[in-house]
Amino acid sequence: MALDYPTLPGDIDHLIADDHAIVERQFQHLEAGRGNRRVLVDQISLELALHAFAEETVLYPIWSEIGMQDEHDDAEHEHQRIKELLVVLGSTEPGQDEFEQALTELIGLVRHHVDDEETEELPEFRRKAGPERMAQLGKEFLAAKRQAPTRPHPSAPDEGLAERIAGMLAKPLDHVRDLLSGKQKEAATDASGLLNPQAQAIVDAHSSLGPLSFEILTPDQARKQPGPKEAVEKVMAERGLEGPEAVGSVEDLDIPDGAGGTQRLRVYKPADAGTAPLPVVMWIHGGGWVLFDIDDHYDASCRGLTNKTGAIVVTPDYRRAPEAVFPASHDDVLTAYHYVLQNAASFGGDASRVAIGGESVGGNMAAATCLQLAANGQPLPLAQVCVYPLTTGEQFGESMVDAADGRPLNRALLSWMAMHAFEGRPDAAQDPRIDLLGWTTEQRAQMPPTLVITDERDVLRSQGEQFARDLEAAGVATTHRHYAGVMHEFFGAAAVLDEAEQAQQEAAAHLTRAFGGVQQGRGSL
């Protein structure tokens, strides 16, 4: 389920293929008899309703204009039947003959539709419409999804302005129906049945907050949605747990960024720090270079590492895209690292004992910072930790298929992040600060001792695993730890997820060994 020609993350054909991959994986769960059958079908119905509306209002009118009328007619006929089957599935229940027959027909029809689209129609469309139009059409495709009704409407107009108007009228009614039925509270969960109970509770809690799909929103809209932090806090509240985890002190500093301005650097100190200089860990948050900041989910990671290592943890609040695209975030992180080395003593740190790490794109920037330091002949951190890191801008490995539907990070959201992070920089994915898998053996060999942490339900799993293999083959002291049954963003959930606590302990032990000390226990203040 992948296009066999190159695309950019925001191209309309790229976005369409992401949708296909997500729905196909959900079909596979249904066929394997795992997961929540009702929720999976409701999620598929939402995906296909938004997808069909966006194709019919953005893509199909152009097909008619450029001489693809036969393809247009066939696709619209299939969309009509898909909508009819989704109505049946929405009005019946799993196990009923009508439900199961409609589902079987839907799976076969969608797979046939996808095969035609990906092998014949989309390649022809790109050739005839021109590759330069694909990015703009991608933006229109996402905008159409934001306007789309959330349920199938077989009797509505199927193209152009009439369909847009019908969609605008149907969307608020669908919204009310989704609220009353509870479907909106399930739309963002992972219904695969592949998560362990604690991890499932977190994604269920996030979904219960009713977030809209990040991957179809504008960045400003997406930043206002509840995220992993709110999900963990909800589970903590349900269990009567207090938070956040206490540390000795937290202070924000204003330091230079990479563009002559300033950025925040948050400094976490352990309790009973004493007067002797402490080792320093620079921890870099994730969010695809677009979402989240140091006030979000990653605060919990920093607090946990502070208490478990007894070190000072600092985290830079780097600039984000699309306001500041690549390499702005990387420049800010490198600038922050230099600041820490030069000013560690001012906040009680020992500049001779510094390590680096991060989560998701933070893991990418940790390694990229080490690469830049090595290239400039500058001292490297004593160790690095890369937690479910992004190590290539390409859709790499089997996890892009088997975790395409994962939550909170699915394949479509990953493309959305890259689309905004690399806007105007189509060459960014080939830059060695992004393409860590493209490094030479000599570049890999310069890395400090590295811990790579990956997880099962994560589209970045395969590329993290490959990065660990590459470093080990280059002679770097490398440890890879994989956690089954959990999802992207699990690391900061130690208060309610055993695997997160274990992963933080693993990271702390790796860092403490590099500092030449003994790992600390969890703080109590």
Q: What is the pLDDT of residues 446-479, one digit of tens each?
A: 999 999 999 999 999 999 999 999 999 999 999 9
Q: Per-residue confidence at 296, pLDDT binned at 50, 70, 90? A: confident
What rounded mean pLDDT belongs to the chain? Answer: 93
Average pLDDT for residues 490-509, to the nearest whole number?
A: 98
| DSSP notation for 460-509 | THHHHHHHHHHHHHTT--EEEEEEEEEETT-TT-TTT-HHHHHHHHHHHH
DSSP state of 195: S
- Amino acid type, 482: H
Average pLDDT for residues 59-67, to the nearest whole number?
A: 90
- Report pLDDT digits (tens) over 325-363: 999 999 999 999 999 999 999 999 999 999 999 999 999
- Report pLDDT digits (tens) over 384-439: 999 999 999 999 999 999 999 999 999 999 999 999 999 999 899 999 999 999 99
The strand pair at 262-269 and 450-457 is best described as unpaired
Query: Residue 375: which residues within 8 A CB-CB, separation 6 or more?
Result: none
Give the residue numbers annotated as catalytic, written as ranges: 360, 458, 488
Q: How many CA atoms are closer than 13 Å to the CA of 256, on its beta-carbon side?
A: 12
Q: What pLDDT does residue 523 have?
A: 37
Q: To 10 degrees, the CA torsion angle through 346, 351, 355, 360?
A: 40
| DSSP notation for 268-291 | EE-TT--SS-EEEEEEE--STTTS
**Of 162, 129, 115, 169, the residue nearest 3 (C-alpha):** 115
Average pLDDT for residues 118-140, to the nearest whole number?
A: 95
H or E stretch at 265:
strand 262-269
